[in-house]
Amino acid sequence: MARPREFDEAKVLASARQLFASNGYHGTSIDDLVQATGLLRGSLYKAFGSKRNLFEKILAEIADDFKATPESLDLLTVALKDLAAVDKPIRLLCLKIVGKNSKTYANLLGANLLAKMKENK
Amino acid sequence: MARPREFDEAKVLASARQLFASNGYHGTSIDDLVQATGLLRGSLYKAFGSKRNLFEKILAEIADDFKATPESLDLLTVALKDLAAVDKPIRLLCLKIVGKNSKTYANLLGANLLAKMKENK
DNA sequence: GCGATTAGTGAACGATTAGTCAATAATAAT
DNA sequence: ATTATTATTGACTAATCGTTCACTAATCGC
């Protein structure tokens, strides 16, 4: 009962996720997101409200059924390092992912962090 | 044979290190550094050249005799996540720190990352 | 005293930041 | 065809970003 969306939300979220995962939260600008997703700023804001909200949505999505892929581990690292200290909802999503497996996740997160170092020789 | 410095370089570096460690590289602005160190922008740039250079100096300093304190682990995490992918000298300093102990450091880095999550309940 | 050299000062720069908004467009229901 | 509703567009804003620089100040050897 209104104009339909022209973009595929899942694809937009996938592009944004990749950017946040590899460049961090503060290292990813709205312009970066505009470029990567193809959406214009206005549409991005109408659809997701804010950069912070977009990030939370992405994190919530992967928290819902977490798989320890490099990208997801990167995103969890970004959430923990760039936002968790000052953003309770983000912190809670991190807790939801990790649960009682903090030993396991410590290993996964650390190994994933170090892996980046070696890729570029 | 010139005007002497009025600031204590070690103290300035300590303040900057703390900021970078807790807020990340992109999360730390020059204004933040000016505030925390007490130095004015001009002095900061005369002494250290650039934000990137200041960070490298700090990382080099801790790389020289690395102790796995929370702050140093935070700083290594920041170096790895915010800079290593696009900055070879930084990457090499990370490698120097980790050496052949990547299993050990994976655990330390991961545990340190997760610790932040629990502090704020 | 006088140069030479280096440090401190802070206004200013262009670029980029996250976010807004009035105009236009596309759909569905009546 | 008209109306209601939601989406797209991109120019715009105020703030902040990292960096520069002309100026002043303090020390040294002479």
Question: Which distant-in-sequence residues (6+ apart) come within 8 Å of B80 by Cβ?
Answer: A113, A114, A116, A117, B94, B109
Does residue B26 contact residue A78 with C-beta atoms inside 8 Å? no
pLDDT in tens, A36-58: 999 999 999 999 999 999 999 99
**B94: buried, middle or exposed (CB in 10 Å: 19+, 13-18, 0-12)?**
buried
Task: Give the fold, CATH level 3, of B9-119.
Answer: Tetracycline Repressor; domain 2 (1.10.357)
Q: How far apart are CA B79 and CA A66, in angstroms?
A: 26
Nearest nucleotide (CA of A41 to C1'):
D10
Nucleotide nearest to B52 (CA to C1'): D18
Q: What is the pLDDT of residue B121?
A: 57
Strand C nucleotides within 7 Å of a protein CB: 4-12, 16-22, 25-29
User: Taking CB atoms and an 8 Å cutoff, what residues of chain A touch B110?
Assistant: 105-111, 113
Place of tokens 């450091």: B105
CA of B42 to C1' of D21 (A): 9
Write the CB contacts of B31 (distance below 8 Å, at least 6 apart in sequence). none
Nearest 5°: phi and psi at A7? -110, 160
pLDDT, position A4: 96
Strand D close to A4 by CB, under 7 A: yes
Compute the mean pLDDT over every residue in chain A, rounded to the nearest whole number. Answer: 96
Asked if pLDDT for residue B117 goes beyond 90, the answer is no
Distance from CA of A114 to the nearest CA of B (A): 7
A81-109 tens-digit pLDDT? 999 999 999 999 999 999 999 999 999 99
What are the residues whose beta carbons fall under 8 Å from the beta carbon of B105, sequence distance 6 or more? A110, A114, B76, B97, B98
Predicted confidence (pLDDT) per residue in B80-110, tens digit: 999 999 999 999 999 999 999 999 999 999 9
Give the CA-to-C1' distance from B3 to D30 in angstroms. 17
- The answer to whether the CB atoms of B110 and A113 lie below 8 A apart is yes
**Hey, where are the domains in chain A?**
9-119
**Do B80 and A106 lie within an 8 Å CB cutoff?**
no
